Chains A and B, each alone.
Chain A
Amino acid sequence: MNPDTRLKDPLSLRVTPWISFIGFFVVWQLLIDTGIVPRILLASPAEVGQLFIDKLTNPDPDGAVLLTHTMVSLLEAVLGYVLSLVIGIPLGLLMGWFVVAEGLARPPFEMIRPIPPVAWIPLAIFWFGIGLTGKVFIIWACGVVPCVINAYTGVRMTSPTLIQMARTYGASDWQIFTKICVPSALPMVFGGLQIALALAWTTLVAAELIAANEGLGYLITMGRRLLRPDMIVLGMIMVGLTGWIIGNIIDRIERRLTAGLERGGAAT
Chain B
Amino acid sequence: MTAETVKIECRNVSKIFKQRAGTVQIPVLDDISLRVLENEFLVIVGPGQCGKTTLLRIIAGFETPTAGHVLLDGKEISGPGPDRGMVFQKYTLFPWRTVMANVEMGLKLRGMAKKERREIAGHYIQLVGLQGFEKAYPHELSGGMKQRVGIARAYANDPKVLLLDEPFGQLDAQTRYLMEQETARIWSAEKKTVIFVTNSIDEAVYLADRIITLEGKLPGRVKSSYTVHLPRPREHIDKKFLELRHQITEETELLL
The CA of A170 and the CA of B108, in the complex, are separated in Å by 11
CA distance A87 to B96 in the complex (A): 25
- The answer on a CB contact under 8 Å between A169 and B92 is no
- Once the chains bind, are A166 and B139 in contact (CB under 8 Å)? no
Interface presence of A224 (CB below 8 A)? no
Contact size range, A: 20 to 34
B137, A260: Cβ atoms under 8 Å? yes
Within 8 A of A (CB), among B123-137: 137
Are B105 and A169 neighbours in the complex by a CB distance under 8 Å? yes
For A161, A165, A166, A171, the residue with the greatest tally of chain B CB atoms inside 10 Å of its CB is A165
List A contacts of B106 (CB < 8 A): 168-170
Flag if A170 contacts B81 (CB, 8 Å): yes
Q: A267 with B109: in contact, given A168-B80, A168-B84, A170-B82 (CB under 8 Å)?
A: no
Chain B CB within 8 A of A106 CB: no
A90 at the interface (CB under 8 A from B): no
Q: Are A161 and B95 in contact (CB under 8 A)?
A: no
Residues of B within 8 Å of A260, CB to CB, are 96, 98, 137
Q: Judging by beta carbons under 8 Å apart, are B96 and A261 in contact? A: yes
Residues of B within 8 A of A162 (CB): 92, 94
Q: Is the CB of A167 within 8 A of B80?
A: yes
The number of chain B residues touching the other chain, given as a range, is 20 to 34
Contact A267 B110 (CB under 8 A): no
Which residue of A is nearest B106, CB measured?
A169
Is A157 on the interface with B (CB-CB < 8 A)? no
Contact residues of A between 149 and 189, Cβ < 8 Å to B: 159, 161-162, 164-171, 175, 179-180, 183-184, 186
Is A251 part of the contact surface with B, judged by Cβ < 8 Å?
no
Bound-state CA distance A159–B92 (Å) is 9
Contact B109 A268, beta carbon cutoff 8 Å: no
Known: A170-B109, A171-B109, A179-B109. A268 touches B95 (CB 8 A): yes
B146-196, CB < 8 A from A: 157, 159
Q: Which residues of the other chain, A, contact B138 by a CB distance below 8 angstroms?
A: 262, 267-268
Contact B82 A261 (CB under 8 A): no
The 10 closest A-B pairs by CB, nearest first: A169-B106, A261-B96, A170-B82, A167-B80, A171-B109, A161-B92, A262-B139, A168-B80, A260-B137, A169-B109
Interface residues of A (CB under 8 A from B): 159, 161-162, 164-171, 175, 179-180, 183-184, 186, 258, 260-262, 265-268
Q: A260-B96, A260-B137, A268-B138 are in contact. List 17 more A-B contacts (CB 8 A).
A: A162-B92, A164-B62, A165-B86, A166-B105, A167-B62, A167-B79, A167-B80, A168-B60, A169-B105, A169-B106, A169-B110, A170-B81, A170-B109, A183-B94, A265-B95, A265-B96, A266-B95
